[in-house]
Structures are given as structure tokens and as C-alpha cells.
Amino acid sequence: MAISADMVKELREKTGVGFMECKSALTEANGDMEEAITILRKRGLASLAKKSSRDAKDGLIGSYIHNGKIGVMLEVNCETDFVARNPEFQALVKDIAMHIAASDPRFIRKEDVTEDVLAKEREIYLEQARQTGKPENVLEKIVEGRMSKYYSEACLLEQPFVKDPSVTVQDCIATLIQKIGENIQVRRFVRYKLGGE
């Protein structure tokens, strides 16, 4: 099947991926747009893994104040000052700051949750599971399910993105990484609430 320039343009607009990669994916998918998107996503996951190991030492400090009652400051890193000045990167930083104000995460990623917090949460969930009267061999699966839910509530990157709950914050970052081709990392944040501790 001949791949037209319009097909490539449409795929580029949908994915933000470069011209040659879109043409290659469409050729491989015999012109099937959805299959081409799937191919690009699979390739993107592999390239994201490579990019995540690269140093991200530039970036921005972003902030967001909500009604003068909640304030957030965060550092989001990228590899170059060129990307740090990119309007899409700046918008992402602002969106993540707004998300933090709205969703109040305690940690950035799952790996940041301390062992004592994990142990305490597991203990609580295990006790709740026991009260259901389910057999012991099922309890661990219940606890794992609740831990997964805990991560999606407490960890920034696991949370459903406040502007589009169908994707996580990590998905939003991954989309921009695919588009601009640089590693992006949320390094740290602080959230203040008026009258809070």
C-alpha cells in the first residue's frame, strides 16, 4: 500500500513523532493508522527506557498558587536549556505544579515510599482484609491490590493526571519525552497549605 503524505501528517499530529518514524510505522502497518500508533508506542517505550538513563541536569523551578491558600514549588529536570525554554516543557511544569496542589501527593515515585510507611500500610490493609473473613491465601492478593491503590493516591507519578484522569502524571511526562527526545524527571517538590504544618 502506498503511504501518502497526508497519512503521515495525520499520524504525526496524533503522536507528535517525527516524519520518518511515522512513515516507517505506517509502512509496517500497511497503512492502518491504529496499528501504526501501536507500533510507535511500542518503539517509544523502548526509547523511553534508553532516555531515562541519561542525565537531566537542566530544567525549571516551577510554582503554582491556588486561591492564595495552597502553594507548590517543584523542580523538573531535562537535559538541555533549549528544552527548558520550550513552551511545551514549561506548560508541563506548570501543569504538574497545579496537579500537586490539587492531589497532594506524598512521594514522587513508588521507590520513594519509605519502608516504615510501607510496613504500616501493609499492616493496616492486612488487618482490614482479615476482618472480611477471607482465607489466608487470598489475603495477600487483597493487600497487594490495596497497596497498588495506595501508590496511585500517594505517589505523584502514579496518580491520575488532574487535567485528564484517563492517564497518569508519568504518562504525561512520557508523552513529552517521546515528542522532544530528552529525559524529563521530577526531582523534588514542596506543597504548602495555609494554616498547615
Grid cell locating 148: 497498588
Tell me the CATH number at 150.
Answer: 1.10.286
CB-facing half-sphere around the CA of 33: CA atoms within 13 A = 11
Q: Is the pLDDT of residue 141 over 80?
A: yes
The better pLDDT of the pair 37, 65 is held by 65
Residues 150 and 160 in one domain: no
Q: Is the pLDDT of residue 18 over 70?
A: no
**What local confidence, expressed as pLDDT, does residue 5 receive?**
82
Residue 142 structural domain: 114-154
Q: Is the pLDDT of residue 185 over 60?
A: yes
Residue 45 Cα distances to 42, 94, 168, 171, angstroms: 5, 25, 15, 11
Query: DSSP assignment of 65-107, as one string?
Result: EETTTEEEEEEEEES-HHHHT-HHHHHHHHHHHHHHHHH--SB
Residue 101 identity (one-letter amino acid) = A
Give the pairing of strands 160-161 and 185-193.
unpaired
pTM for the model stands at 0.69
The better pLDDT of the pair 44, 24 is held by 24
Q: Give the torsion through C-alpha atoms of 32, 33, 39, 40, to 10 deg.
A: 150
**What local confidence, expressed as pLDDT, does residue 102 receive?**
95
**What local confidence, expressed as pLDDT, does residue 143 receive?**
84
Tell me the CATH number at 10.
Answer: 1.10.8.10
